[in-house]
Structure 1
């Protein structure tokens, strides 16, 4: 890529991963100068997001703080293709890690990029933590509302988990035999539901239903009406991979300095606190009482608090 074609703000880019071109947005600081060297961030988004959601929020914020930020659509998601013979909406954990490694490689080819850091939100936290275990090109990592310790969150009800696995297994067999995609609603939310219907359906199951809908729902701030290439529908065998938590299992192997930001009141707080308890690296922890898990996705006060903290941490 010719650096002279890049300008301050958002730039559409592509980079190779699994032999195909993934679609990305490269956010550059104001008064960007290709002859200078900048600290760069590879971003990782929540499940099941595309680059027009969290990356489109955090990218401009981190660029405004002087960083180069790369947000991208994972293999089979958003504007990135699936592999030949495979289906869209196939966000598989192991591939997310490898896509992230390739994103780091891409940033490493840019002459104006110096140190590279990782910033993940929700599932993106697990992706960044996992990728960093063996990719020491990533010099520091930060995780916001991160789902790193997924075992404490996803495996508590074994009967429920085994039902999820059985459904994923059946979906995989169906797709293998029929050659057609089998799309489901992994978080129980489709693209047509009203907020009232979804919250009622999740009563006693998901205490985050209201804030989840406000972001992902049909009428949400970053739902399918607001982000045309996003859908809440996902490939049916997703559970066979999303139930793995590599970052948690290898937390004590992470050597890079890390920052974990989360809400004390969030249902998901245990995913951060359990992860932190396993770390042996140089580590900082920032917990808030006033924000929820999803607040960090888009609410101005929460986003400012997290991005200010991340910028300070990466600049140390």
Structure 2
């Protein structure tokens, strides 16, 4: 089965030269045209080859036989990342391979790098690497997610049909007012809608192959956060970029505390978690920081 990706090349690309290449890992539940479609051109502009791709079951990549689209399973995300590294390794103009993960992509790329030393450096932006403190602090909520996912898994098995849900309570048809008014945290909800919502920057209207709806058994895998428990095994030089005032900052800081490879850290004030997805000033700062780190 073939995964589908977009390869971004530097301006004045010359196939006879050697370039540093980056494999991108995207946030949940994104496709390659979203955050990676922002960072791909930015990193190419800074001289890198950048691979953005869709995981199995997402975007333009197929689902496995007997499974359904909009199914993004953690263990396959890691395996698919290894495949992407293998692909970059076949390109004669690629000199070294680095990894860049945003949000859940931070967890994916860090997990992949534990045993894939073909990834020579890794960087994360607004990364959800140490997700246990974020996802399991309220165990009642976690167990509610698990219960719903278990019911969905059984339903899918028995019916042979997909069971689609809105993991964050946001579907593809809601207005911003409808979504925010029903949210427990209106500020965060508004920020999420501005990106993912029906009328958002990279919502289902703006990105044809994206949907906020997802297979309902997702939590059975997304509640595993592997890389934080293997952080001390990561040997590659590591950069962690995050918004110090973002509610998800703990997912970066707790991960940093567990690393033993003397990581570089860039904590920016004034930016939220989602700002690093697409806000020009935030993206410029993170892209410049990542480029400088990869060029050392």
TM-score by length of 2: 0.99
Q: Which residue of 1 aligns with 2:222?
A: 242
Q: Which residue of 2 aligns with 1:287?
A: 267
Q: Which residue of 1 aligns with 2:97?
A: 116
Q: Does residue 46 of structure 2 align to residue 65 of structure 1?
A: yes
Of 87, 94, 117, the match for 2:75: 94
Of 196, 206, 213, the match for 1:226: 206
- SS at 1:21 equivalent: coil
Q: Which residue of 2 aligns with 1:26?
A: 7
* Cα distance in 1 for residues equivalent to 2:145 and 2:121: 34
Q: Which residue of 2 aligns with 1:187?
A: 168
Q: Which residue of 2 aligns with 1:268?
A: 248
Q: Which residue of 2 aligns with 1:14?
A: none
* Cα distance in 2 for residues equivalent to 1:125 and 1:281: 16
Unaligned runs of 5+ in 2: none
Q: Which residue of 2 aligns with 1:213?
A: 193
Q: Which residue of 2 aligns with 1:159?
A: 140
Q: Which residue of 2 aligns with 1:312?
A: 292
* Cα distance in 1 for residues equivalent to 2:164 and 2:87: 32
Q: Which residue of 1 aligns with 2:84?
A: 103
Q: Which residue of 2 aligns with 1:6?
A: none
Deviations 1:72-93 (A, max 9, x none): 0000000000011110000001
Root mean square deviation, CA, Å: 0.7
For these two proteins, the number of residue pairs brought into alignment is 296
Deviations 1:190-214 (A, max 9, x none): 001111111121124x751111000
| Cα pair 1:256 1:282 within 8 Å, conserved | no
* Cα distance in 2 for residues equivalent to 1:208 and 1:285: 24
Of 108, 118, 123, the match for 1:137: 118
Deviations 1:149-185 (A, max 9, x none): 1001000111111010010001000000100000001
* Cα distance in 1 for residues equivalent to 2:252 and 2:291: 20
Deviations 1:283-309 (A, max 9, x none): 100001111110000010000000000
Shift of 1:55: 1.1
Deviations 1:250-271 (A, max 9, x none): 0110000000000111010000
Of 48, 61, 64, the match for 1:80: 61
Of 32, 36, 41, the match for 1:51: 32
